Amino acid sequence: MNFLRHFGFNAKPLVSVVVASYKHQDYVQACLQSVLGQDFQDFEIVITDDGSTDQTVAHIQALQDKRIHLKVLPQNSGACIALNDAILRSRGKFVAVLNSDDYFLPGKLSLQVAYLQAHPEVGAVFGLPSFVNEQGQVFEDPAHRDHDAFKATPQNRHQWLRYFFDEGNALCHPTVLIRRELYQQLGLYDPRLAQVPDLDMWIRVATRTQIAVLPQALTAFRVRDGLMNASAGRPEVIVRDAWERAHILRHYLGMSAPELKQIFPEFADHAEPWATQLAKYALGKPYPFFHRFALDAWFNSLPSAQPPQAMLQLQASQPGAWQELIRQTGQVDLHKIQT
């Protein structure tokens, strides 16, 4: 036990476990008890309830542990709002994120704290999820969309950034332990996003620091019946995910040329602007969200008639640049007009 806290001093914990809870009355006590029962005990649990209308809040309050700090929002505002609120109220050097229907496996915090203390070059360390069903029993379904989602093995941050662009997310959010300073430097989760705010964050993190994934299962990820998980493949989730993916790929347009050369080494010897190369690369991908990103990036990379000097310089170095874009905008049917 922390000596100062034992004698009543308000010392900062080393770890803050932050939880955004919402209508998880059947699971939230198991979630919190999995933290309270860790062999690593220098933590606080900071919960923001997102306006639950069931008994979630009552189940949290029933635990009566002084390390649990609860705030209840007056109305449902969205998972990112609640999670950001919990992060802002937390005090630990390291932050662990936990969903209120998931739970930590034994040894989770001690393993990751030791890893970050031993590897100062790593800003965030993840683990693997262990899938369980609503009753907490092992869930094994090879056909489930998340069954192989977290098995990628990039070796450094540039490989992760390439994977995020090409494939999407392969990091399980409720397994993360992240240095608080990264949230302070990069900002919190974007509340405009519902499906991929974590992927948006990992892209930002990987531009700043290394990422590591421990090979152990560290968090039990609960697969809900009836596609009730926020990431489950409901029609509105699939549509929203595509729109959000097109948006967050724009992070790559703000990266420096040296950084992009590390992520996309095959582009290094091309004379075209990086935005144009990324656009053409994305047009070769199979999904429409890549194409939306590509056409927007390509369009914005070309000057309009103003200023005239920029237009003349580009025309001299890349004759036909506008015609090539215009040809593509007539072939890529984003709005499915021809179907």
Q: Report, at the CATH architecture level, how domain 3-232 is classified.
A: Alpha-Beta Complex (3.90)
Domain boundaries, the chain: 3-232, 248-329
Among 111-115, 197-201, 202-206, 311-315, the least confident range:
311-315
Instruction: Say what angle helices 288-301 and 235-248 make with each other, to 10 degrees.
Output: 30
Mean pLDDT of 51-66: 96
Beta-bridged to residue 131, according to DSSP, are 221
pTM, two decimals, is 0.89
Rounded Cα distance, 183 and 204, in Å = 10
> Could you report the per-residue pLDDT of 162-203, keeping only the tens digit for each?
999 999 999 999 999 999 999 999 999 999 999 999 999 999
SS3 state at 17: strand
Q: What is the mean pLDDT of the chain?
A: 88
Helix (H, G, I), strand (E, B) or coil at 80: helix
Q: Count Cβ atoms below 10 Å from residue 206 Cβ, excluding itself.
A: 25
Asked if 31 and 19 touch (Cβ cutoff 8 Å), the reply is: yes
Share of the chain above pLDDT 70, in %: 85
